[in-house]
Homo-oligomer: A and B are copies of this chain.
């Protein structure tokens, strides 16, 4: 509950960027949402908005990576992917399809925001590494695990974009079914055939 200005700014940046994208998120919105003084931005992020966005993207990437790693170490990879997709589905519905992935938003923020793009790339690589480690733990060769992990990220992120556009969780459900089929091909028959 301490939540200093810096932490509030990062949290608000993640929230607003998920909803509106980088360029559509103004500092005024950011300050109002985080109940923070304008000067506090430049106190903690000398580079201004660009710095804040980059740090928010890094933070969002770490949060998601922690979540995925947590679910992975207590279950099979497919169950972890399932849990992630279920959580995304619930989040989308709860917010009336208003929120997307902050890392994707940062990745597409344009050519002028190099720091944000690099932060997004770093987050993607982190997720891929975490997933690939789980796949190798299941016996997959290193190269196969890395490729598969990268594609799992692609499939989920793409489904999230489609789901927002269509205002439907169907793309996430399709991703669940198809990723299950793909993983079954690599890892053989394993659970996760619930409803």
Chain A interface residues (CB < 8 Å from chain B):
19-24, 98, 100, 103-111, 117, 120-121, 124-125, 147-148, 150-151, 153-159, 161-162, 164-167, 170-171, 173-175, 177-179, 181-182, 185-186
How often does this chain occur in the complex, in copies?
2
Which secondary structure dominates where chain A touches chain B?
A: helix
- Residue of chain B at shortest CB distance from A154: B158
Q: Is B162 in contact with A150, judged by CB distance below 8 angstroms? A: yes
Across the interface, A158 reaches (CB within 8 A) one of B161, B170, B173, B177, namely B161
Contacting residues, chain B, for A24 (C-beta < 8 A) = 23, 109-110
Distance (Å) between the CB of A137 and the closest chain B CB? 19
Question: Does the CB pair B153–A162 fall under 8 Å?
Answer: yes
Q: List 21 A-B contacts (CB under 8 A).
A: A21-B108, A100-B108, A103-B165, A105-B108, A107-B162, A108-B108, A108-B164, A124-B165, A124-B166, A147-B177, A148-B174, A148-B178, A150-B159, A151-B159, A153-B158, A154-B155, A154-B156, A154-B162, A157-B162, A158-B158, A161-B161
CB–CB A181/B182 < 8 A: yes
* A118 and chain B: residue at smallest CB distance: B165
